[in-house]
Structure 1
Amino acid sequence: MTARIEQFGVPYGDFLLRGDHYAGARSNHTLLLHGAGASTRHMHHLLRNALQERGVGTTCFECVGHGETGGLLAQSSVASRTRQAEAVIAARAMDEPLALIGISMGAYNAIRLTQSHPVDALVLMVPGVYPPDAYEVPFGPAFSAVIRRERSWMDTDAWDILARFEGALLVVAAEHDAVIPLEIPERLVAAAGRARQRELMVVEGGQHNRVWALLAEQPERFDAALGSVIAALHKGR
């Protein structure tokens, strides 16, 4: 079967947010939010293609400073990334309640989106979280100074936000993540006391930027992990 992928662009200030939609039977409510650094939507084709093959469609766009959207990272911030996601949700008339897949920094954006949109499923992969005083700071030296404070993530508002979440939650951690300490995924799951379902999946041997590629080397592990993602997305509904 030929994959059905629709390219799109969404205006956001002086930028055009470039993205694509992988069509599926349940197609227009799942948004994937990529991470920071050099991340692009194309880095997640392996996961999105596997989901599409199983009937789960996804939408993903590149934030300002990334990929085909272009611009400089200094022209964006964590808060701007959330607003960019809101622009895409509105422009694409995405069905609500939403299902959100957030990767690394994108996990925090997904958590923040539960404050402004109905969300019934959260899949947070190698999740990063940030203190409120870093939220509006443009990416660059000032932002780095805030988040490099010792255990700055302890002051995040993510715990309190997730405490109000009532949908399905799956947190995927990498065993050997040199960026995100395991304490963060553990605390996120613990915080979501009102969630309909909550689960922590630790990928044995996984690294921050190598989870699904590692799993793909062992099809049985890949299928099991993918099944957990799909189950979370479905149980949200």
Structure 2
Amino acid sequence: MAKKTDAREAAAPAAVRTAFTVAYGAHWLHGSTWGRTAAAVPRLVSLHGGGAATDHRRMDYLLQPLAAQGWAGSAFDFVGHGATGGSLLGSSLADRQAQAQAVADHLDLGAARPPLALIASSMGGHTACQLLDALRPRALVLFCPAAYTPVAEHQPFGPAFQQTLRTTTDFADALAWAALRRFRGRLLLVWGAQDVVIPPAVIQGYGQVATAARSVDVVQLPGAGHALHAWLQAQPVAALALQQRIAALLAAAEQD
């Protein structure tokens, strides 16, 4: 017997993915926008982390349902990742900030028409914070965000950069934190209880420096490590709960 379709289920809007490219130096940055239509204007911008196997499609499990609820979102592959390709070596934190700004400009997002939220992971969390003053989002969702001292900002990715990370123990002058101290929107921090990549000082620091934020919420996921998105995609109940929490944050930010 065929399944009877509930009228509300049939009327529920779907989300469609539309690919885009943005010229950046010798590269083309490849990305996607999720929206109810192909012409939807993104209100969320997602920035992935620095893992070699990471790409922007890893956030589809969150961006797709949020878009179906009316919050269109975009994400892209940084140089050295996914469809953008190229070499990760030789890029830098500062270069990633410039790449993200190029995508924001392409999407016509900025202080005059700010995104509702930035959603970022690991190294992308640092980049998102660096963009707060330029893009002025009302909400910021950070998954296991990393922090870096100013000396690492322009160092090309490679052995010297890794050595700087290994020897850094004091993050008080982290550029991401300087920007986050000025942030007046809503902040949601998501950590894995078993994260052994991000130093405890960074985990504690992110929650402490957002002193001007309208609200600061922290979600700690028991059993999860640093690879939060892979863990969440294998835990649909936890993923749905987090998606609902992000949706509530976005709804509140819209009213601010």
TM superposition score normalised by structure 2: 0.85
Length, aligned pairs only: 236
Give the aligned residue type for 1:18.
H
Query: Is the Cα–Cα contact under 8 Å of residues 186 and 200 in structure 1 kept in the other structure?
Result: no
State how far apart, in whole Å, the 2-side matches of 1:197 and 1:54 are. Answer: 23
Equivalences for residues 132-211 of structure 1 within 5 A: 132-211=150-229
8 Å contact 1:146–1:152 — kept in the other structure?
no
Equivalent pair of 1:172/1:185 in contact (CA under 8 Å): no
Which amino acid in structure 1 is aligned with residue 189 of structure 2? V
Computed over aligned residues only, the root mean square deviation of the Cα atoms, in angstroms, reads: 2.1
2:55–2:77 Cα contact (<8 Å) kept: yes
The answer to whether structure 1 residue 121 and structure 2 residue 139 are counterparts is yes
Alignment of 1:56-135 (within 5 A): 56-94=71-109, 96-98=113-115, 99-135=117-153
For the pair 1:227 / 2:244, whether they are aligned, the reply is yes
How far 1:24 moved relative to its partner? 4.3
Amino acid at match of 2:196: A
Whole-angstrom distance in 1 between the partners of 2:69 and 2:249: 14
Q: Deviations over 1:43-97 (max 9, x none)?
A: 2222222323333221001001111111101231111111101101111213632
**Gap regions ≥5 residues in structure 1:** none
Higher-Rg member (1/2): 2
Q: For each residue in 1:22-48, what CA deviation from the matched residue of structure 2 results, as whole angstroms up to 9, or x when unmatched?
A: 014984221000000221012222222
* Structure 1 residue 228, shift from structure 2 partner: 1.7
Deviation at 1:224, TM superposition (A): 2.2
Sequence identity (%) = 34
Any stretches of 5+ residues in structure 2 without a counterpart? 1-12
Residue type of the partner of 1:105?
M
1:15 is aligned to 2:36: no
TM-score (norm 1): 0.91
> Which stretches of structure 1, 4 residues or more, deviate above 6 A after TM superposition?
none
CA shift in 2, pair 1:2/1:161, >3 Å: closer
Instruction: Give the aligned residue type for 1:161.
Output: A
